[in-house]
A = this chain, B = another copy of it.
Amino acid sequence: MRPALNPSPRPTARDAIIDAAIRLWSRNPGATFSEVALHAGVGRATLHRHFRNRDELLTLLAEICIAETNEAVAATIVQGASARRQLQGMFEAVIPLGDRYSFLYRAEIGDEHTTAEYRRQLEQVAALVGRLKSEGAVAADVPTAWVVAQIDQLIWSAWNEVASGRIAAADAADLATRTLLYGLGKEKQP
C-alpha cells in the first residue's frame, strides 16, 4: 500500500467513536466513556487508545462540527447572491446538521482555539445580518444580537421539528426564513 495521504490508516473504529459520541452527548452531555464505547461498538480500552481523555475527544468533536458547518455553509453560499438568498442558503445547509451541531450548545469546551472559532462563526452570522439590514430585508431598528439569536434558535428548532417528523425536511429552510423575516402573523409573502 502506498503511504496513506489520509493520516488515519484504519479509520473505522475511530469514526465509529466520533459518530457515537456526537450522537450520544447531544442527548446526554453527561454520558459516560463506557456508554460511548458501547454505542460505538468498541471496547473501552480502544476508546482510550484513540483519545486520551474526555476533553481530548470533546475538543475534537467541537472542531469537527464547526468545520462541517463552515464547509456546508461555504458550499451553499453563492458569492454574488443577495444576503436574503444567502440566509436561505445557510438555513438549507445548516439545518440538516442539527443533530451533529446541537451538542455544542451544552458542551463546556475549554479549548481556546475552539471557542475562538465558534465566536468567529457567530460574527459571520452577525455580518450577514448587517448585509440583510442594508438590503432592507431586516429592519434596522432591531438589535443585531437579537437577530443572530433568532437565527441560531431557528436552526435548532427547525432541525428539532424535522427530526421528530412534524415538519418535512424540504420545508424547514423556507419556514425558518419566513418566520424570521415575515413572522407567522399572515399568509406567506411572495
User: What residues make up the interface of A, taking CB atoms closer than 8 Å to B?
Assistant: 28-30, 106, 108, 137-139, 141-143, 145-147, 149-150, 152-154, 156-157, 160-161, 166-167, 175, 178-188
In the bound complex, what is the Cα–Cα distance between A178 and B184 (angstroms)? 10
Q: Taking the nearest CB of chain B, how far is it from the CB of A82, in angstroms?
A: 13
The reply to whether B167 and A157 contact each other, CB–CB distance below 8 Å, is: no
Q: Which residue from B29, B150, B178 sits with its C-beta under 8 Å from A157? A: B150
In the bound complex, what is the Cα–Cα distance between A187 and B106 (angstroms)? 34
Q: Taking the nearest CB of chain B, how far is it from the CB of A119, in angstroms?
A: 14
The 7 A-B residue pairs with the shortest CB-CB distance in the complex, in nearest-first order:
A183-B183, A181-B185, A153-B153, A182-B183, A149-B157, A145-B166, A181-B183
Number of copies: 2
Question: What are 15 A-to-B residue pairs whose CB atoms are below 8 Å?
Answer: A138-B184, A139-B185, A139-B186, A139-B187, A139-B188, A141-B188, A143-B161, A143-B167, A146-B179, A147-B184, A149-B161, A153-B154, A181-B183, A181-B185, A183-B185
| Chain B, residue nearest A166 (CB) | B145
By a CB distance below 8 angstroms, the chain B residues around A147 are: 184
The reply to whether A153 and B157 contact each other, CB–CB distance below 8 Å, is: yes
Given A106-B106, A139-B184, A179 and B153 contact (CB-CB distance below 8 Å): no
Residue of A29, A149, A181 ringed by the most chain B CB atoms within 10 A: A149
Residue of A150, A166, A181, A183 ringed by the most chain B CB atoms within 10 A: A183
Q: Which residue from B30, B141, B183, B187 sits with its C-beta under 8 Å from A187? A: B141
The reply to whether A184 and B184 contact each other, CB–CB distance below 8 Å, is: no
Known: A28-B108, A106-B106, A180-B183. 17 other contacts (CB 8 A): A137-B185, A138-B185, A139-B187, A141-B187, A143-B166, A143-B167, A145-B161, A145-B167, A146-B157, A146-B167, A150-B157, A152-B157, A178-B183, A180-B184, A181-B184, A181-B185, A182-B183
